[in-house]
């Protein structure tokens, strides 16, 4: 039988996979009229950052890789590029999570915004470097702003629907001692 912490991490991973799968399903639905207007936020990136900064013990790097690789395949993006950038960004945030734990939400929001901006810039630079089609800069900036604006909403919704809360310093210490 799975013990308490292992069971909780397994349930957290399953809920994360279900949430990302649901978001991907909604992204693939043909809901638009065909006109491309303002780009929407990347809710999956917001969710993964919220999850990593609140419950870093629940989703491992392989889970992030699998979910974003499936997203790359289904959304016809360059295979693995966005996956690697999301993995690097989330692992950078995971390493700094103990220092960021007691900070105000505005500081977290700013740091996540910087990470997402760096990821989008790196994505654009790699696409330019390999002479691949690059989305219009205005659309990328609008998507960045939309993603940045959606982050607090995603954190709020995740907190009140699935109970995604920050772990306290004492909880983190107990997890390390197990």
- What's the structural domain count of the chain? 1
Pairwise pLDDT comparison (68 vs 176), residue with the higher score: 68
* Nearest-angstrom CA–CA distance, 151 and 18: 19
54, part of any domain: yes
Q: pLDDT averaged over the chain? A: 88
* φ/ψ (deg, to 5) at 93: -70, -40
Tell me: the pLDDT tens digits for 101-139? 888 899 999 999 999 999 999 999 999 999 999 999 999
96, part of any domain: yes
How distant is the alpha carbon of residue 6 from its chain centre? 22
- Report yes or no: 155 and 45 within 8 Å, Cβ to Cβ: no
What's the token pair of residue 10?
């397994």
pLDDT for position 3? 57
Of 73, 57, 37, 62, nearest to 146 by C-alpha is 37
Tell me: the pLDDT tens digits for 36-48? 678 889 999 999 9
Tell me: the pLDDT tens digits for 62-105? 999 999 999 999 999 999 999 999 999 999 999 988 888 888 89
33, part of any domain: no
* Nearest-angstrom CA–CA distance, 167 and 12: 14
* Nearest-angstrom CA–CA distance, 34 and 50: 31
- This prediction has a pTM of 0.89
pLDDT for position 79? 93
167, part of any domain: yes
31, part of any domain: no
What is the extent of the structural domain holding 63? 4-25+39-172
Tell me: the pLDDT tens digits for 130-168? 999 999 999 999 999 999 999 999 999 999 988 887 776
């Amino acid at each position: 039988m799975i013990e308490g912490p292992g069971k909780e991490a397994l349930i957290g991973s399953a809920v994360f996979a279900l949430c990302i799968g649901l978001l991907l399903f909604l992204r693939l639905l043909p809901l638009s009229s065909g006109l491309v207007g303002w780009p929407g936020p990347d809710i999956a990136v917001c969710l993964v950052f919220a999850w990593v900064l609140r419950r870093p013990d629940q989703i491992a790097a392989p889970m992030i890789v699998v979910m974003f690789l499936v997203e790359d395949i289904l959304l016809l993006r360059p295979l693995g590029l966005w996956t690697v950038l999301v993995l690097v960004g989330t692992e950078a945030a995971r390493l700094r999570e103990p220092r960021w734990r007691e900070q105000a939400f505005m500081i977290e929001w700013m740091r996540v915004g910087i990470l997402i901006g760096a990821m989008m810039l790196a994505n654009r630079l790699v696409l330019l470097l390999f002479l691949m089609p690059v989305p219009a800069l205005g659309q990328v900036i609008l998507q960045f702003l939309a993603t940045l604006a959606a982050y607090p909403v995603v954190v709020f919704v995740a907190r009140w629907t699935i109970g995604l809360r920050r772990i306290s310093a004492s909880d983190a210490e107990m997890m390390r001692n197990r």
